Amino acid sequence: MHGLIFFYIRKFAESLPKGLAPTAGPATGQSSVVRQAGHYLPSGSYPDEDAVALLQAVAEARSEPLGDTVRRFGEFLAPHLVKVAGPLVDPGWRTLDLVEHTEELIHAMIRVAKPGAEPPVLEAVRIGPEELHLVYSSRRRLCLLATGLVHGLARHFGETVEIEEPGCMLRGDPFCSFVIRVAGRETHASHSPLFETVVLPPGTGSVAADAMDTDPGLLPDDGGVADDPVPEQIGGHRILGLVGAGAMGRVYLAHDERLDRRVAIKVMNRQRARDPGARQRFLREGRAAAAVEHPHVLTIHSVGEHAGLPYIVMQLLDGQTLGAHRAAAGALPLAETLRIGREIAEGLAAAHARGLVHRDIKPDNVFLEGPRRSVRIIDFGLARAAADDSAKLTVEGTVVGTPAYMPPERIGEESLDAKSDLFGLGVMLYELLAGRLPFEGTSMVSMLASIAKGTPVPLAKAAPRIPPEVCDLVMRLMAHRKEDRPEDAAGVAAELGRLERKFTDRE
């Protein structure tokens, strides 16, 4: 555990009422906890058990359950962590904003400087201005600390929050899930400055600098690229206009002067490009996709940098995503669904043959090109080499992607492999054939809980008109255990091709 926590455990013990009742043991009573915690350097890293022992001593001195002490410590800790993260925190953020961006703050403050660190895995989905759903997973199972931190943040920002916990690892669930709602705000809320200096013991250095590997070039200064002018040229390509913009960056329509063709160029958001981990993920998307040459995978022409910003030059596609097509066209014929599934499987087989796992197979990452609606798999932003653990930019088990199409292993502790992509393909085929998703849930957390339990509604029940052998394949693709899914994407493509030929003439 990071030494910064021990520094604040000492501050926490000092803040408690004087005269706590001493109990037996080597680290007991308020003064003893303060003395013990003072032995840990804020810039160091120490066993989790040491921090738990100190908090246990505080709990015993207060004659209260350890869980109550941990929650109380979280409330105490929250505003101090906001100050430490100050340069990375938008001054306009409040409780839900900060919780929503906690994962990227953890990456900037801890993982960049200490790649081997194991901070908690967090995935937040903002439901509205006053509600956020959060998934938490960690081998430490410190969900009580997380609850205290959220309440402490709310107090810091002059807000009150209500927290529901539908799932909890302490109750045997595979992850903790929280529904956080803002219940009220102080009319004249005030809180400490975000950029307050954190004073540490002499000789320990700046914890904020140690944790964040502080570099002025990494700190936000302009809020992104909203006011950036459209460039005239990028990497020898004449820019024709802006196609769209999103959280990761901008996409431009451009003309390749050398080969006389139109292309699309994705340029990374200026603020995100200051995060080395985010830059690496962006460039990895281009390199991963460029390594696969196949008719059903988007073609990447080149990867480079322009004015300090990474960019990817890619094939310009004419058509729409599978999600948009289904929304406009409604239910698709069985033969067309099988054809689309086959082409997705063929594209995945090509990627898997190069050792790449896409990790985010969903309708918005399947593009239907031209009048024939030929499949192109896009957005390899989460792809990684299947056997390259060094390429992991987030801790094992991180919840990334779109919840409805996530395989159970992404929520748990198993590693992802080619069979994880097959699960996403199965969910898409189920949705196209049944007109609904296989796993029920009205929120991200309830959807993930349904996937974790592995209990989809059988396709034969959801869509009785679908031939039994098609239903069987789709359900095998969505098997809860990876070993129960088909062996590989190439075999799935062959099976879908056989079914496509069989049922094309019957419609």
- List residues with catalytic annotation: 360
CB 2 within 8 A of CB 211: yes
CA distances to 146, 152, 225, 345 from 72, rounded to whole Å, are 10, 9, 40, 51
Among 46, 319, 84, 35, which residue's Cα sits nearest to residue 208? Answer: 84
CB 263 within 8 A of CB 248: no
CB 414 within 8 A of CB 482: yes
Residue identified by tokens 């901070």 is 119
- Position 142: which residue type? L
CA atoms of 428 and 365, how far apart (whole Å): 11
Token reading at 166: 């539908």
Among 99, 180, 170, 125, which residue's Cα sits nearest to residue 441? Answer: 125
Token reading at 318: 């004419």
CA 470 from centroid of its chain's CA atoms: 32
* Helices and strands (DSSP H and E) totals, the chain: 17, 15
Task: Please list, in sequence order, all residues whose beta carbon lies within 8 angstroms of the beta carbon of residue 499, skipping any fewer than 6 positions away.
Answer: 338, 467, 469, 470, 473
Q: Residue 190: count other Cβ atoms within 10 Å of its Cβ.
A: 7
CA atoms of 362 and 234, how far apart (whole Å): 30
CA atoms of 473 and 300, how far apart (whole Å): 32
CB 167 within 8 A of CB 175: yes
CA distances to 269, 278, 285 from 310, rounded to whole Å, are 9, 10, 11
Among 75, 220, 97, which residue's Cα sits nearest to residue 144? Answer: 75
